[in-house]
């Protein structure tokens, strides 16, 4: 009789405008492909990389100047991130981004997509729009189109975005993550027990998933 398949929950705390979260999501997907013998459930949790950015967003130049000192200073940093993303088969074009969004509405959309089993797909679409295409994630119609691209009801999403539905919920979840000590994202929490911070290589994530799944499946010591 075949042994029961091990299972593990992986909770991911991340933000859609965090380039390392963009890279980390791809690396997690590659890790999951390596551990097909483990039944892994991935759950996505919100984090506000820039909680000080207002709901309507700010210009990208203002954001980069505030956070990095100048647009040019970020340009020197961005090259490494662009190259790392490319190595994972992802595109990041910093020069296309003209507006820095507050991501509360993005996280609301990801949360709503969960009911249809599409939270990861919507998260990926939003990241592609932002990093690859320079999309303005402060524009409701951009979010509505992202939802529609993933098979969600555009009219329903448009209506819900125009309300305060789940604003408090998402804000509390993001605050709870920060209060729990999450300061760098992405953060991967394995089996509600072990935390891994940063966009770790796929092989390291795969190894950790296997180890934790095996540990949690092991019978308790007599």
- DSSP letter at 153? -
41-66: average pLDDT: 97
- DSSP letter at 95? G
176-189: average pLDDT: 94
92-117: average pLDDT: 98
pLDDT score of 2 more than 80: no
204-220: average pLDDT: 94
Cα separation, 173 vs 201, in Å, equals 27
pLDDT score of 152 more than 60: yes
Cite the DSSP H helix spans in 114-153: 119-127, 140-149
- DSSP letter at 89? T
Grade residue 121 by pLDDT with cuts at 50, 70 and 90. very high
pLDDT score of 106 more than 80: yes
* Predicted local distance difference test score (pLDDT) of residue 1: 44
73-101: average pLDDT: 97
Cα separation, 179 vs 92, in Å, equals 31
Cα separation, 46 vs 155, in Å, equals 24
Grade residue 3 by pLDDT with cuts at 50, 70 and 90. low
Domains of the chain: 6-217 (3.40.30.10)
Query: How remote is the C-alpha of 154 from its chain's centroid?
Result: 22
Grade residue 40 by pLDDT with cuts at 50, 70 and 90. very high
pLDDT score of 4 more than 90: no
Can you give the length of the chain in residues? Answer: 222
Looking at the chain, the whole-number percentage of residues with pLDDT higher than 70 is: 98
* Predicted local distance difference test score (pLDDT) of residue 218: 87
Structure-model confidence comparison of residues 1 and 181, the more confident one: 181
* Predicted local distance difference test score (pLDDT) of residue 220: 75
112-117: average pLDDT: 97
pLDDT score of 95 more than 70: yes
Q: What is the pLDDT of residues 9-33, one digit of tens each?
A: 999 999 999 999 999 999 999 999 9
Looking at the chain, the whole-number percentage of residues with pLDDT higher than 90 is: 94
Vertex 56 angle, CA 181 and 137, to 5°? 80
Cα separation, 102 vs 137, in Å, equals 8
Cα separation, 35 vs 203, in Å, equals 10
């Amino acid at each position: 009789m075949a042994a029961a398949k091990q299972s593990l929950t992986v909770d991911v705390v991340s933000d859609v405008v965090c380039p390392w979260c963009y890279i980390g999501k791809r690396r997690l997907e590659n890790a999951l492909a390596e551990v097909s013998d483990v039944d892994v459930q991935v759950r996505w949790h919100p984090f506000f990389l820039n909680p000080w950015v207002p709901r309507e967003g700010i210009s990208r130049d203002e954001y980069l100047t505030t956070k990095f000192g100048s647009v040019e200073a970020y340009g020197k940093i961005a090259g490494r991130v662009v190259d790392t993303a490319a190595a994972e088969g992802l595109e990041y074009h910093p020069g296309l981004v003209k507006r820095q969004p507050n991501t509360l509405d993005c996280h609301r959309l990801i949360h709503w997509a969960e009911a249809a089993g599409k939270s990861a797909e919507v998260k990926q679409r939003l990241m592609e729009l932002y990093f690859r295409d320079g999309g303005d994630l402060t524009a409701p119609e951009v979010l509505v189109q992202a939802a529609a691209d993933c098979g969600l009801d555009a009219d329903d999403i448009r209506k819900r975005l125009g309300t305060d539905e789940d604003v408090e919920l998402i804000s509390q979840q993001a605050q709870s993550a920060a209060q729990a000590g999450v300061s760098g994202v992405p953060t991967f929490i394995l089996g509600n027990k072990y935390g891994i911070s940063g966009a770790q290589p796929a092989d390291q994530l795969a190894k950790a998933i296997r180890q934790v799944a095996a540990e949690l499946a092991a019978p308790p010591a007599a």
